[in-house]
Amino acid sequence: MVERQMPRPSEIFELLHFKRPSLDLKKRRLESALTIEDLRRIAKRRTPAAAFDYTDGAAEGEISLRRARQAFKDVEFHPAILRDVSTVDTSTTIFGGPSALPFGIAPTGFTRLMQTEGEIAGAGAAGAAGIPFALSTLGTTSIEDVAAANPKSRNWFQLYVMRKREISYGLVERAAAAGFDTLLFTVDTPVAGARLRDSRNGFSIPPQLTARTILDAVPRPWWWVDFLTTPKLEFASLSSTGGTVGELLDSAMDPSISFEDLAVIREMWPGKLVVKGVQTVADAQHLTDHGVDGIILSNHGGRQLDRAPIPFHLLPEVVREVGHHTDVAIDTGIMHGADVVASLAMGARFTLIGRAYLYGLMAGGRAGVDRAVAILADQVVRTMKLLQVASVDELEPAHVTQLTRLRPRADRVQV
Protein backbone atom coordinates (compact mmCIF):
# COMPACT_ATOMS: atom_id res chain seq x y z
CA MET A 1 0.00 0.00 0.00
CA VAL A 2 1.20 3.52 -0.80
CA GLU A 3 1.12 5.79 2.21
CA ARG A 4 -0.75 8.99 1.40
CA GLN A 5 -0.57 12.38 3.05
CA MET A 6 -1.97 15.84 2.62
CA PRO A 7 0.15 17.85 0.16
CA ARG A 8 2.46 20.34 1.82
CA PRO A 9 2.11 23.93 0.57
CA SER A 10 5.91 24.33 0.44
CA GLU A 11 6.23 21.36 -1.92
CA ILE A 12 3.48 22.71 -4.17
CA PHE A 13 5.18 26.09 -4.40
CA GLU A 14 8.42 24.38 -5.41
CA LEU A 15 6.62 22.99 -8.47
CA LEU A 16 5.25 26.34 -9.58
CA HIS A 17 7.36 28.05 -12.21
CA PHE A 18 5.89 30.86 -14.27
CA LYS A 19 7.61 32.43 -17.26
CA ARG A 20 7.48 36.17 -17.55
CA PRO A 21 5.11 36.83 -20.46
CA SER A 22 6.75 38.35 -23.53
CA LEU A 23 5.14 41.35 -25.17
CA ASP A 24 7.05 40.65 -28.38
CA LEU A 25 4.39 38.80 -30.38
CA LYS A 26 6.74 37.91 -33.24
CA LYS A 27 9.29 36.44 -30.83
CA ARG A 28 6.60 34.38 -29.09
CA ARG A 29 5.23 33.22 -32.43
CA LEU A 30 8.61 32.08 -33.72
CA GLU A 31 9.76 30.50 -30.46
CA SER A 32 6.63 28.34 -30.53
CA ALA A 33 7.77 26.86 -33.87
CA LEU A 34 9.78 23.69 -33.27
CA THR A 35 9.77 22.38 -36.86
CA ILE A 36 9.62 23.73 -40.40
CA GLU A 37 6.05 22.41 -40.55
CA ASP A 38 5.24 24.65 -37.55
CA LEU A 39 6.62 27.62 -39.49
CA ARG A 40 4.52 26.57 -42.48
CA ARG A 41 1.34 26.67 -40.39
CA ILE A 42 2.20 30.14 -39.07
CA ALA A 43 3.02 31.31 -42.60
CA LYS A 44 -0.34 30.09 -43.90
CA ARG A 45 -2.19 32.05 -41.21
CA ARG A 46 -0.29 35.26 -41.93
CA THR A 47 -0.06 35.28 -45.74
CA PRO A 48 -2.77 35.82 -48.36
CA ALA A 49 -3.80 32.62 -50.10
CA ALA A 50 -2.36 33.52 -53.53
CA ALA A 51 1.10 34.32 -52.16
CA PHE A 52 1.14 31.33 -49.82
CA ASP A 53 -0.05 28.92 -52.53
CA TYR A 54 2.59 30.24 -54.93
CA THR A 55 5.23 29.20 -52.39
CA ASP A 56 3.59 26.04 -51.12
CA GLY A 57 2.31 24.66 -54.41
CA ALA A 58 3.85 22.73 -57.27
CA ALA A 59 2.94 21.75 -60.83
CA GLU A 60 -0.11 19.86 -62.07
CA GLY A 61 -1.20 17.32 -59.43
CA GLU A 62 1.86 18.11 -57.24
CA ILE A 63 2.90 14.45 -57.45
CA SER A 64 6.62 15.22 -57.81
CA LEU A 65 6.68 17.26 -54.62
CA ARG A 66 4.80 14.66 -52.58
CA ARG A 67 7.07 11.90 -53.85
CA ALA A 68 10.21 13.89 -53.05
CA ARG A 69 9.08 14.49 -49.47
CA GLN A 70 7.95 10.90 -49.06
CA ALA A 71 11.37 9.69 -50.20
CA PHE A 72 12.97 11.40 -47.21
CA LYS A 73 10.35 9.96 -44.88
CA ASP A 74 11.11 6.50 -46.27
CA VAL A 75 14.61 6.54 -44.79
CA GLU A 76 15.92 4.10 -42.24
CA PHE A 77 18.99 5.25 -40.28
CA HIS A 78 21.65 2.89 -38.97
CA PRO A 79 23.46 4.48 -36.01
CA ALA A 80 26.89 3.48 -34.82
CA ILE A 81 27.62 3.09 -31.09
CA LEU A 82 30.25 4.07 -28.54
CA ARG A 83 31.60 7.01 -30.55
CA ASP A 84 32.56 10.35 -29.02
CA VAL A 85 30.04 12.89 -30.30
CA SER A 86 30.34 15.44 -27.49
CA THR A 87 31.00 17.90 -30.31
CA VAL A 88 30.18 17.60 -34.00
CA ASP A 89 31.53 19.53 -36.97
CA THR A 90 28.80 20.53 -39.43
CA SER A 91 31.09 22.52 -41.72
CA THR A 92 31.83 21.47 -45.28
CA THR A 93 33.37 22.66 -48.53
CA ILE A 94 31.20 23.05 -51.61
CA PHE A 95 31.95 24.43 -55.07
CA GLY A 96 35.38 25.56 -53.95
CA GLY A 97 34.38 27.40 -50.79
CA PRO A 98 33.33 26.89 -47.17
CA SER A 99 29.93 26.59 -45.51
CA ALA A 100 29.36 26.36 -41.75
CA LEU A 101 26.40 24.04 -42.34
CA PRO A 102 25.75 21.42 -45.01
CA PHE A 103 22.85 23.39 -46.48
CA GLY A 104 22.36 26.76 -48.13
CA ILE A 105 19.45 28.91 -49.25
CA ALA A 106 18.13 28.05 -52.71
CA PRO A 107 17.21 30.66 -55.33
CA THR A 108 13.54 31.61 -55.22
CA GLY A 109 11.60 33.97 -57.47
CA PHE A 110 9.25 36.80 -56.42
CA THR A 111 10.57 36.54 -52.86
CA ARG A 112 9.40 39.95 -51.62
CA LEU A 113 5.87 38.83 -52.48
CA MET A 114 5.96 36.36 -49.60
CA GLN A 115 7.14 38.99 -47.11
CA THR A 116 8.47 42.41 -47.89
CA GLU A 117 11.99 41.85 -46.50
CA GLY A 118 12.46 39.20 -49.19
CA GLU A 119 15.96 38.38 -50.37
CA ILE A 120 17.55 40.85 -47.96
CA ALA A 121 16.24 38.75 -45.05
CA GLY A 122 17.49 35.55 -46.67
CA ALA A 123 20.92 36.94 -47.51
CA GLY A 124 21.34 38.46 -44.06
CA ALA A 125 20.34 35.23 -42.33
CA ALA A 126 22.68 33.22 -44.57
CA GLY A 127 25.55 35.56 -43.76
CA ALA A 128 24.89 35.31 -40.03
CA ALA A 129 24.86 31.49 -40.25
CA GLY A 130 27.92 31.29 -42.50
CA ILE A 131 26.09 29.53 -45.34
CA PRO A 132 25.66 30.42 -49.06
CA PHE A 133 22.73 32.43 -50.34
CA ALA A 134 21.53 32.01 -53.94
CA LEU A 135 19.74 34.85 -55.75
CA SER A 136 17.30 34.04 -58.56
CA THR A 137 17.16 35.71 -61.97
CA LEU A 138 13.51 36.29 -61.01
CA GLY A 139 14.44 37.80 -57.66
CA THR A 140 12.92 41.01 -56.36
CA THR A 141 16.16 42.42 -54.96
CA SER A 142 19.10 43.49 -57.09
CA ILE A 143 22.40 41.68 -57.33
CA GLU A 144 24.16 44.67 -55.82
CA ASP A 145 21.75 44.98 -52.87
CA VAL A 146 22.14 41.29 -52.01
CA ALA A 147 25.92 41.69 -52.09
CA ALA A 148 25.59 44.64 -49.69
CA ALA A 149 23.30 42.63 -47.37
CA ASN A 150 25.68 39.67 -47.28
CA PRO A 151 29.17 41.13 -47.72
CA LYS A 152 31.21 38.56 -45.78
CA SER A 153 29.61 35.25 -46.72
CA ARG A 154 29.09 33.51 -50.05
CA ASN A 155 26.59 34.68 -52.66
CA TRP A 156 25.57 32.57 -55.65
CA PHE A 157 23.56 33.66 -58.70
CA GLN A 158 20.99 31.44 -60.40
CA LEU A 159 20.82 32.12 -64.14
CA TYR A 160 18.01 31.54 -66.62
CA VAL A 161 19.12 31.82 -70.24
CA MET A 162 16.46 34.04 -71.74
CA ARG A 163 15.26 34.69 -75.27
CA LYS A 164 17.13 37.99 -75.23
CA ARG A 165 20.58 36.59 -74.54
CA GLU A 166 22.03 40.03 -73.85
CA ILE A 167 19.89 40.25 -70.69
CA SER A 168 21.36 37.01 -69.35
CA TYR A 169 24.89 38.05 -70.30
CA GLY A 170 24.45 41.36 -68.51
CA LEU A 171 23.33 39.57 -65.34
CA VAL A 172 26.39 37.31 -65.49
CA GLU A 173 28.67 40.34 -65.72
CA ARG A 174 26.90 42.11 -62.83
CA ALA A 175 27.08 39.04 -60.59
CA ALA A 176 30.80 38.66 -61.27
CA ALA A 177 31.42 42.36 -60.59
CA ALA A 178 29.49 42.10 -57.28
CA GLY A 179 31.70 39.26 -56.05
CA PHE A 180 29.30 36.32 -56.44
CA ASP A 181 31.48 33.21 -56.51
CA THR A 182 29.20 30.56 -58.07
CA LEU A 183 26.78 30.62 -61.00
CA LEU A 184 23.85 28.16 -60.99
CA PHE A 185 23.06 27.57 -64.68
CA THR A 186 19.45 26.32 -64.60
CA VAL A 187 18.36 23.82 -67.25
CA ASP A 188 14.91 22.54 -66.20
CA THR A 189 12.77 25.51 -67.25
CA PRO A 190 12.49 25.75 -71.04
CA VAL A 191 8.85 26.73 -70.40
CA ALA A 192 6.78 27.28 -67.28
CA GLY A 193 5.21 24.30 -65.53
CA ALA A 194 1.43 24.27 -65.07
CA ARG A 195 1.05 25.60 -61.53
CA LEU A 196 -2.66 25.15 -61.10
CA ARG A 197 -2.97 26.76 -57.68
CA ASP A 198 -1.70 30.01 -59.21
CA SER A 199 -4.16 29.81 -62.10
CA ARG A 200 -7.08 29.12 -59.77
CA ASN A 201 -6.08 32.00 -57.50
CA GLY A 202 -5.72 34.39 -60.44
CA PHE A 203 -2.20 35.00 -59.16
CA SER A 204 -0.21 37.69 -60.95
CA ILE A 205 2.85 39.88 -60.47
CA PRO A 206 2.19 42.37 -58.99
CA PRO A 207 -0.86 41.15 -57.02
CA GLN A 208 -4.15 42.63 -58.19
CA LEU A 209 -6.78 43.97 -55.82
CA THR A 210 -10.00 42.09 -56.59
CA ALA A 211 -13.04 41.27 -54.50
CA ARG A 212 -11.47 37.90 -53.71
CA THR A 213 -8.07 39.29 -52.66
CA ILE A 214 -9.68 42.02 -50.59
CA LEU A 215 -11.75 39.45 -48.69
CA ASP A 216 -8.65 37.32 -48.21
CA ALA A 217 -6.81 40.38 -46.87
CA VAL A 218 -9.30 41.14 -44.10
CA PRO A 219 -7.75 38.72 -41.54
CA ARG A 220 -4.21 39.58 -42.73
CA PRO A 221 -4.01 43.38 -42.74
CA TRP A 222 -0.31 43.38 -41.77
CA TRP A 223 0.67 41.79 -45.10
CA TRP A 224 -1.15 44.43 -47.11
CA VAL A 225 0.21 47.26 -44.96
CA ASP A 226 3.72 45.98 -45.67
CA PHE A 227 2.96 45.55 -49.36
CA LEU A 228 1.45 49.01 -49.82
CA THR A 229 3.96 50.97 -47.71
CA THR A 230 7.23 49.52 -49.05
CA PRO A 231 8.96 49.89 -52.46
CA LYS A 232 7.01 48.59 -55.44
CA LEU A 233 7.17 44.84 -55.93
CA GLU A 234 8.98 44.21 -59.20
CA PHE A 235 11.73 42.10 -60.67
CA ALA A 236 15.14 43.51 -59.94
CA SER A 237 16.68 42.00 -63.09
CA LEU A 238 13.80 42.12 -65.61
CA SER A 239 11.88 45.07 -66.99
CA SER A 240 8.59 43.21 -67.52
CA THR A 241 6.46 42.70 -64.42
CA GLY A 242 2.87 42.32 -65.63
CA GLY A 243 0.93 39.10 -66.05
CA THR A 244 0.58 35.69 -64.54
CA VAL A 245 3.66 33.80 -63.41
CA GLY A 246 3.36 31.36 -66.30
CA GLU A 247 3.09 34.19 -68.85
CA LEU A 248 6.15 35.92 -67.37
CA LEU A 249 8.22 32.75 -67.45
CA ASP A 250 7.16 31.80 -70.96
CA SER A 251 8.02 35.29 -72.24
CA ALA A 252 11.47 35.20 -70.63
CA MET A 253 12.63 31.57 -70.96
CA ASP A 254 13.95 30.08 -74.17
CA PRO A 255 13.15 26.46 -75.11
CA SER A 256 16.07 26.49 -77.58
CA ILE A 257 18.71 26.60 -74.79
CA SER A 258 21.58 24.21 -75.59
CA PHE A 259 25.09 23.10 -74.68
CA GLU A 260 26.34 25.97 -76.85
CA ASP A 261 24.78 28.40 -74.36
CA LEU A 262 26.53 26.58 -71.53
CA ALA A 263 29.85 27.01 -73.33
CA VAL A 264 29.23 30.74 -73.83
CA ILE A 265 28.44 31.27 -70.16
CA ARG A 266 31.44 29.15 -69.13
CA GLU A 267 33.65 31.49 -71.16
CA MET A 268 32.12 34.58 -69.54
CA TRP A 269 31.96 33.45 -65.92
CA PRO A 270 35.15 33.69 -63.81
CA GLY A 271 33.91 31.64 -60.83
CA LYS A 272 32.48 28.16 -60.32
CA LEU A 273 29.90 27.03 -62.86
CA VAL A 274 27.24 24.64 -61.53
CA VAL A 275 24.33 23.19 -63.52
CA LYS A 276 21.03 23.07 -61.63
CA GLY A 277 18.11 20.85 -62.61
CA VAL A 278 19.90 17.63 -63.59
CA GLN A 279 17.51 14.64 -63.56
CA THR A 280 19.28 11.71 -65.26
CA VAL A 281 22.56 9.88 -64.80
CA ALA A 282 23.38 10.31 -68.49
CA ASP A 283 23.06 14.10 -68.27
CA ALA A 284 25.19 14.15 -65.13
CA GLN A 285 27.91 12.24 -67.00
CA HIS A 286 27.63 14.49 -70.06
CA LEU A 287 27.94 17.65 -67.99
CA THR A 288 30.91 16.24 -66.09
CA ASP A 289 32.59 15.52 -69.42
CA HIS A 290 32.01 19.20 -70.28
CA GLY A 291 33.99 20.19 -67.18
CA VAL A 292 31.31 21.83 -65.03
CA ASP A 293 32.32 22.47 -61.42
CA GLY A 294 29.22 20.87 -59.94
CA ILE A 295 25.69 19.65 -60.55
CA ILE A 296 22.51 20.02 -58.52
CA LEU A 297 20.03 17.18 -58.71
CA SER A 298 16.67 18.94 -58.70
CA ASN A 299 13.22 18.77 -60.24
CA HIS A 300 12.67 22.45 -59.39
CA GLY A 301 10.79 21.67 -56.22
CA GLY A 302 8.19 19.78 -58.25
CA ARG A 303 7.23 23.04 -59.95
CA GLN A 304 8.03 22.13 -63.55
CA LEU A 305 7.49 18.59 -64.88
CA ASP A 306 5.14 16.67 -62.63
CA ARG A 307 6.07 12.99 -62.13
CA ALA A 308 9.73 13.96 -62.61
CA PRO A 309 12.48 11.79 -61.07
CA ILE A 310 12.94 11.95 -57.31
CA PRO A 311 16.33 13.63 -56.73
CA PHE A 312 17.03 11.72 -53.51
CA HIS A 313 16.44 8.38 -55.23
CA LEU A 314 18.64 9.44 -58.16
CA LEU A 315 21.46 10.57 -55.87
CA PRO A 316 23.35 7.29 -55.16
CA GLU A 317 23.77 6.33 -58.81
CA VAL A 318 24.81 9.83 -59.88
CA VAL A 319 27.38 10.01 -57.07
CA ARG A 320 28.68 6.59 -58.04
CA GLU A 321 29.15 7.68 -61.66
CA VAL A 322 30.45 11.26 -61.32
CA GLY A 323 30.99 12.01 -57.64
CA HIS A 324 34.75 11.51 -57.87
CA HIS A 325 34.97 14.13 -60.62
CA THR A 326 32.55 16.89 -59.60
CA ASP A 327 30.56 18.12 -56.60
CA VAL A 328 27.00 16.76 -56.45
CA ALA A 329 24.37 18.70 -54.50
CA ILE A 330 20.63 18.12 -54.12
CA ASP A 331 17.39 20.01 -53.48
CA THR A 332 13.62 19.38 -53.54
CA GLY A 333 11.58 18.13 -50.60
CA ILE A 334 13.96 18.96 -47.75
CA MET A 335 11.91 19.86 -44.67
CA HIS A 336 14.00 18.49 -41.80
CA GLY A 337 17.63 18.35 -40.76
CA ALA A 338 17.44 14.57 -40.98
CA ASP A 339 16.71 14.98 -44.72
CA VAL A 340 19.98 16.91 -45.01
CA VAL A 341 21.91 14.24 -43.11
CA ALA A 342 20.41 11.43 -45.21
CA SER A 343 21.42 13.25 -48.39
CA LEU A 344 24.99 13.64 -47.20
CA ALA A 345 25.15 9.99 -46.21
CA MET A 346 24.04 8.99 -49.70
CA GLY A 347 26.87 11.00 -51.24
CA ALA A 348 25.65 14.57 -51.70
CA ARG A 349 28.24 17.22 -50.91
CA PHE A 350 25.57 19.80 -50.08
CA THR A 351 21.84 20.50 -49.98
CA LEU A 352 19.66 23.54 -50.71
CA ILE A 353 16.47 24.65 -48.97
CA GLY A 354 13.76 26.67 -50.70
CA ARG A 355 10.29 26.38 -49.22
CA ALA A 356 11.71 25.74 -45.74
CA TYR A 357 13.33 29.16 -45.75
CA LEU A 358 10.30 30.86 -47.31
CA TYR A 359 7.98 29.49 -44.62
CA GLY A 360 10.22 31.18 -42.07
CA LEU A 361 10.21 34.41 -44.09
CA MET A 362 6.41 34.47 -44.23
CA ALA A 363 6.16 33.60 -40.54
CA GLY A 364 8.38 36.43 -39.33
CA GLY A 365 10.63 38.17 -41.86
CA ARG A 366 14.36 38.07 -41.16
CA ALA A 367 13.77 36.66 -37.66
CA GLY A 368 11.68 33.89 -39.21
CA VAL A 369 14.46 32.97 -41.63
CA ASP A 370 16.91 32.88 -38.73
CA ARG A 371 14.50 30.57 -36.94
CA ALA A 372 14.19 28.25 -39.96
CA VAL A 373 17.98 28.00 -40.26
CA ALA A 374 18.31 27.38 -36.50
CA ILE A 375 15.65 24.63 -36.54
CA LEU A 376 17.37 22.81 -39.39
CA ALA A 377 20.82 23.27 -37.86
CA ASP A 378 19.66 21.85 -34.52
CA GLN A 379 18.09 18.88 -36.30
CA VAL A 380 21.28 18.25 -38.29
CA VAL A 381 23.42 18.27 -35.13
CA ARG A 382 21.01 16.08 -33.17
CA THR A 383 20.69 13.55 -36.00
CA MET A 384 24.47 13.38 -36.40
CA LYS A 385 24.93 12.82 -32.66
CA LEU A 386 22.31 10.09 -32.60
CA LEU A 387 24.00 8.45 -35.58
CA GLN A 388 27.23 8.92 -33.63
CA VAL A 389 29.19 10.68 -36.34
CA ALA A 390 31.38 13.63 -35.40
CA SER A 391 31.63 15.32 -38.81
CA VAL A 392 29.78 15.39 -42.11
CA ASP A 393 32.73 13.61 -43.73
CA GLU A 394 32.02 10.54 -41.57
CA LEU A 395 28.54 10.12 -43.06
CA GLU A 396 28.39 7.26 -45.56
CA PRO A 397 25.81 5.05 -47.32
CA ALA A 398 26.02 2.47 -44.53
CA HIS A 399 24.18 4.96 -42.30
CA VAL A 400 21.06 4.98 -44.50
CA THR A 401 18.68 2.63 -46.25
CA GLN A 402 16.36 4.14 -48.84
CA LEU A 403 13.07 2.30 -48.41
CA THR A 404 11.28 2.20 -51.74
CA ARG A 405 7.54 2.43 -52.33
CA LEU A 406 7.75 2.96 -56.08
CA ARG A 407 9.74 0.44 -58.11
CA PRO A 408 10.29 0.62 -61.88
CA ARG A 409 9.07 -2.22 -64.07
CA ALA A 410 11.66 -4.92 -64.60
CA ASP A 411 11.70 -4.26 -68.37
CA ARG A 412 12.26 -0.49 -67.97
CA VAL A 413 15.07 0.86 -70.14
CA GLN A 414 17.58 2.63 -67.90
CA VAL A 415 18.66 6.17 -68.83
Pairing of strands 294-297, 92-94: unpaired
pLDDT confidence bin for 236, thresholds 50/70/90 = confident
Check whether 105 has a pLDDT greater than 60.
yes
Whether the per-residue pLDDT at 222 is higher than 50: the answer is yes
- Beta partners for residue 66, in sequence order: none
Residue ranges and CATH numbers for the domains of the chain are 28-402 (3.20.20.70)
Q: Which pLDDT score, from 0 to 100, does residue 86 have?
A: 96
Residue 298 clears pLDDT 80, i.e. is over it: yes
The residues carrying an active-site annotation are: 300
Report the pLDDT averaged over residues 70-74. Answer: 96
How far, in Å, CA of 260 to CA of 264, rounded?
6
277-289 confidence digits (pLDDT tens):
999 999 999 999 9
* Res. 367 pLDDT band, cuts 50 70 90: very high
For the stretch 253-281, pLDDT in tens is 788 899 999 999 999 999 999 999 999 99
Does the pLDDT value for residue 414 go beyond 80?
A: no
Q: What is the pLDDT of residue 241?
A: 47
CA separation for the pair 163, 189 (Å, rounded): 12
Work out the mean pLDDT of the chain and round it to a whole number. Answer: 90
The whole-number pLDDT of residue 245 equals 61
Instruction: Using pLDDT thresholds of 50, 70 and 90, give the confidence band for residue 5.
Output: confident
pTM (predicted TM-score): 0.91
- Of 243 and 66, which is predicted with more confidence? 66
Model confidence at 209: pLDDT above 60: no
